[in-house]
């Protein structure tokens, strides 16, 4: 079994590109309850890299632009998991973006051994699109609204080449925001 967490970055004060002190503290607290992570990947934007560094101190964070450019799908955020599922079904451009994210997850998956975990820190829309890619509309509807800061998705792969088990990772609403 291999597990990949896909999380939205932690708290920041807009328009700042960097995490706030509260965002760093929240990421560190969540990181202490997760992992260990063998591989850590983040969007190259500062708030995503800083989230990964706070969650997994001392880790070498790989930067990947795939997780920062959501293309046409970015305009959808913040929308529910079910709305992303419908957008994937109805828009070839959004479907292509969802497929690209899924391929990136599958490439990362091949780098993991049985029992390993990986972390991807990205932006709003990525976790929702992955459920839209692998899940059913019914499962997407059960997952509810968009991921807030530091929330995300845990993908558990029993076997390579099979659909993962998807679990939404939520935090208490008072700890985070859209």
pLDDT in tens, the chain (178 residues): 999 999 999 999 888 899 999 999 999 999 999 989 999 999 999 999 999 999 999 999 999 999 987 666 666 788 899 999 999 999 898 899 899 999 999 999 999 999 999 999 998 889 998 988 888 888 889 999 999 999 999 999 998 778 899 999 999 988 887 7
Q: Is the backbone peptide bond immediately before 78 cis, with ω within 30 degrees of 0?
A: yes
Rounded to 5 degrees, φ, ψ at 79 are -135, 165
What does the pLDDT read at residue 36?
Answer: 95
The residue to which tokens 């994210």 are assigned: 101
DSSP structural state of residue 174: G
What does the pLDDT read at residue 177?
Answer: 79
- Sketch the domain layout of the chain as residue ranges: 2-175
What does the pLDDT read at residue 9?
Answer: 95
Q: Give the span between the Cα atoms of 23 and 128, in whole angstroms.
A: 21
The residue to which tokens 């029993």 are assigned: 158
Interval 21-52: pLDDT, tens: 999 999 999 999 998 999 999 999 999 999 99
Which are the contacts of 152, defined by CB distance < 8 A and separation ≥ 6? 5, 6, 7, 8, 127, 168, 169
* Tokens describing residue 133: 């890619």
Which are the contacts of 26, defined by CB distance < 8 A and separation ≥ 6? 10, 11, 149, 150, 171, 175, 176
Q: Give the span between the Cα atoms of 126 and 69, in whole angstroms.
A: 10
Rg value, the chain, Cα: 15
What does the pLDDT read at residue 73?
Answer: 63
What does the pLDDT read at residue 70?
Answer: 65
Could you tell me if residue 150 is left (phi over 0), alpha (psi between -120 and 50 degrees) or otherwise beta? left
pTM for the model: 0.94
What does the pLDDT read at residue 133?
Answer: 86
Q: Give the domain 2-175 fold.
A: Rossmann fold (3.40.50)
| Strand pairing category for 39-42 and 61-63 | parallel
What does the pLDDT read at residue 74?
Answer: 65
Dihedral, 171, 60, 32, 126 alpha carbons, nearest 10: 10
């Amino acid at each position: 079994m291999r597990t990949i967490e896909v999380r939205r970055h932690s708290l920041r004060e807009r328009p700042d590109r960097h995490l706030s002190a509260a965002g760093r503290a929240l990421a560190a607290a969540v990181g202490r309850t997760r992992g260990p992570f063998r591989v850590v990947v983040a969007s190259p934007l500062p708030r995503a890299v800083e989230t990964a560094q706070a969650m997994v101190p001392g880790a070498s964070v790989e930067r990947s632009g795939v997780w920062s450019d959501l293309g046409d799908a970015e305009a959808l955020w913040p929308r529910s998991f079910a709305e992303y599922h419908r957008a994937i079904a109805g828009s070839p451009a959004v479907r292509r973006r969802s497929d690209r994210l899924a391929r990136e997850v599958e490439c990362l998956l091949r780098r993991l051994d049985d029992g390993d975990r990986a972390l991807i820190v990205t932006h709003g829309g990525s976790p929702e699109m992955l459920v839209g890619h692998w899940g059913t509309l019914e499962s997407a509807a059960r997952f509810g609204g968009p991921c807030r800061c530091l929330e995300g998705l845990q993908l558990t792969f029993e076997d390579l080449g099979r659909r993962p088990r998807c679990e939404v990772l939520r935090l208490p609403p008072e700890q985070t925001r859209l």
